[in-house]
Every structure is written in structure tokens, then in C-alpha cells.
Amino acid sequence: MPMTEQGFRKYTYAELLEQQIIRAKDLFGDDIDTSGKSVLGKYIRLNVSDFAQQEEALEALYQARYVDTACGVSLDRLAPFAGLQRNAAVAAVLALVLYNHGKSEVELPMGTKLVNSDGTLYHLTQRITIAPGSSVQAHAACDTAGEIGNATKPLRFSQVQQPNITISYRTLLPIAVTGADTESDPDFRRRWKKAVAGAGSGTADAVMGAVARLDSVQDVVLYENDSDIEQEVGTFRVKLPPHSFAVIVKGAEDASAEIARTIFQKKPLGIQAKTGSVVWNAVTERVADSAGIFHEIQFGYAASVPITVEVTINKADEPDFQPATAKPLFAAALQAYFSGSRIGQGAYANALYVPLIQSGAVSCIAGIQVRTRLTPSAAKVTIGVDEYLTFSDVVITYKE
């Protein structure tokens, strides 16, 4: 194994071939024919091909020992050393409002199937009774785990239509539990480093690291105000009280008590855990210390912001372009791109050219713009410190 001071360095095919040719000439003489047309030369090259594959395997084995280069199962087997495990796929849960416009009471059993416009199935997580002329809040879980359930598109009853019942989403917070695909290697490595950085206590890194180690947490950020006056944080000016910090978490919506307990165990003495103003999904939990005294711990869950991508293709550049065929390919590429979006991280249209072209549906794009429900089409989208982007739709304009 070619180990050096810089670690493992594999032999290339050319280096292995040269070594074998030199060895053959040492054994049979300098005038022996080792070209690719001779029997001996062909035999040497067959062996060298096997040796090169072995070198590839040895390099992969060596790289599997380190978090920055390990992949798949190898990365999973390293995770216990950091007190982590890869997040499994999570089914999205939507927060709904069901309205009864009829004159009689309607009962919907638990498990009632709903379907959205792209065919994704959901089911009610509890039995619902709606009085005539009133409304009830409910939760609908996606039948398929993953980010596919985060698309807040119009819902209707799937198997049996319910007359006089309409379905809408709760204002501002349509997603009660964020759906997530199985955590990717890059996202797992990023969470690993954040968790390891917070091995101590009483610091921002310690709080974020401890929260990042919890199951189903996809991202966590912390904003601190160590001054004696109220301060504004982020683009949309969330205000933090003096001597406080705000923790914003993506994912793990059903683990608020555990998150609060973790924050309490790691937070500095005399510093308040607050969410500040204008945090949509604030949570307050009461945590008992070792003496049984309860303390209020606040943090916030990041809110998803659906983003729409507008793509313009010129017919002169792409005469054979098929919008109907390209749309699902574009959607899959953008879904993958935004699956790892970070809290507070906006989007630049220029960054989307690469994933769209790599989808194989097009080679020349005339222009890209992005927009959300609250921002018009532009070259970039800015979001709040307690928000993250999720892909919603791609709109293709194919023009002369």
C-alpha cells in the first residue's frame, strides 16, 4: 500500500503498467516484447487492470475512515462516535382548516384520504366532527415519507367526496411537520461538524451542537444579543431582548420538549432563551432543573417558504425543446437543489442554471427568475431569519 506522509496515495494505471514492464524486462531481458500486441504485453495489461481496481478499492477503504470522505454506510458507522445517527425520511403533516357549509353535522373518520393536484395522497390523523356552518382545524399526514408532502397544493377528498366540505390551509403555517427525505451525506456531514463543535457548554456552538445531535433535526441556527439593549437580527429585523439568544430549528416539530430540555442544559447561566418578536412558530416549554424548579425556555421552528422558479427558453436557441417533457425533469432537479436549504438562506437565480442544465432537458437557458408568495419575480429571493425555502413549482416560458 503506497502510504506517504500525506496519507494513502493510490498508484495510477500508467504507474502500475510501467512497474510491470520493468519487472518483465528484469526477468526476461531488455529485448523482450512488452507492447500491447504481444502475448506477454496483453497478459501484463490484464493484470495491471486488476491491480488498478484493487488500488481504487484500497483508496475507498482508506477514505471510509474519515467523516469528510466517508459515504453511505461507512459514514453511518462513524456517526456513533459523534453521538449521531442519520435522519430517516419523515412524512409531512399539513395543518388544515375544514369548513362545513351544509346544514347537518359531518363526521370524517381518522384515515380519510385526501389528494392534491399532483396526485400525492394524505390522510387525516384524527377523527373530525364538523358542526353545520362551522370549521375545524385538523392535520393530514402524507402517505409517502419525504419532501414530496411539503407541496401545499389544493386538496380534495380522494375516495369518497364530501358535499359542502371545503379544505384550506392554516394561515402562514400550512406545514405542521416538515417532510424530509433520508438525510444526504453532505447534510449529515454538516450536522456532524456542528454537533462536534458544540461538545462543551455555555456557548453558542455548544447549544447548536447539542440540538443538532437530536433525531430529525435538519438544521439549527442561533442568534445572540449580549448587549444591554434590544437588538434587531436579520433581514426582517427580528428583535431580541437584551442578554438573550434565539434558537431556530428546522425539523423535529414533534420533539419540542426534548429540544427545550437540551437548550436548558447547554445555555449559559443568566442568559434567557427567547425567540424575540415576529417569529411565527414560537414554542415555550417549561423545563425543571435538578432542584425541581421550572424554567421557561423559548425557541422557534423555522417556517417553510415555497419558492417558484420561472425559466425562459428561446425557440431560436432550443428549436427541439419540449416544455411538457422538460417540466418534470426541471422539477426533480430543483427539488434536489432546495432539499438542503438552510435556515435564513435565500436563493439566487444564477445558481439555478447548473442544476437545470444538468437535468439534461436543455442546453441553453435565456433567463431565470425566482419568486415566493410575498416577493415578486426577481433575480434573488431574501427570506427571514426563521424561514427556509422549499421548492414549489417551475414555470416554463417557451418564446420566439
What tens digit of pLDDT does each residue of 147-184 get?
A: 888 887 889 898 777 888 889 887 666 888 888 888 88
Q: How far apart are CA 68 and CA 378, in angstroms?
A: 36
User: Residue 266: helix, strand or coil by DSSP?
Assistant: helix
pLDDT tens string for the chain (400 positions)? 577 778 888 889 999 999 999 999 999 998 899 998 899 999 999 999 999 999 888 888 888 888 888 888 888 888 888 777 888 888 989 989 999 998 899 999 999 999 998 889 999 999 999 999 999 999 999 999 988 888 878 898 987 778 888 898 876 668 888 888 888 888 888 888 777 766 667 778 888 888 888 888 889 988 888 888 887 776 555 678 888 888 899 888 888 999 999 999 888 876 777 776 555 578 889 898 888 889 888 898 888 888 999 999 999 888 888 998 999 899 989 988 888 888 888 999 999 999 999 998 898 999 999 999 888 999 999 888 888 998 888 999 998 7
User: Residue 144: helix, strand or coil by DSSP?
Assistant: coil
Rounded to two decimals, the pTM is: 0.64
Question: Does residue 385 contact residue 221 with C-beta atoms inside 8 Å?
Answer: yes
The domain spans of the chain are 3-63, 93-177, 198-301, 304-399
Question: Does residue 349 contact residue 377 with C-beta atoms inside 8 Å?
Answer: no
Which spans in the chain are helix H?
A: 13-28, 39-63, 72-78, 185-197, 204-212, 256-266, 323-338, 353-358
Q: How far apart are CA 87 and CA 336, in angstroms?
A: 17
Half-sphere exposure of 97 (CA within 13 A, CB side): 11
| Cα distances (Å, whole numbers) of residue 5 to 52, 67, 77, 319 | 22, 20, 26, 55
Q: How far apart are CA 52 and CA 40, in angstroms?
A: 18
Q: How far apart are CA 141 and CA 139, in angstroms?
A: 7
Task: Using DSSP bridges, classify how beta strands 7-8 and 113-116 pair: parallel, antiparallel or unpaired.
Answer: unpaired
pLDDT at 354: 92
pLDDT at 1: 56
Q: What sign results for the dihedral spanned by CA atoms 245, 248, 249, 254?
A: positive
Q: How far apart are CA 344 and CA 300, in angstroms?
A: 13
Q: How far apart are CA 345 and CA 365, in angstroms?
A: 24
Q: How far apart are CA 138 and CA 122, in angstroms?
A: 12
Cell of 285: 416549554
Cell of 210: 447539542
Question: Does residue 246 contact residue 284 with C-beta atoms inside 8 Å?
Answer: no
Which backbone phi and psi does 59 adopt, to 5 degrees?
A: -65, -45
Q: How far is CA 78 from the centre of its chain?
A: 21
pLDDT tens per residue, range 302-322: 888 889 999 999 998 888 889
For the CA atoms of the chain, what is the radius of gyration? 28
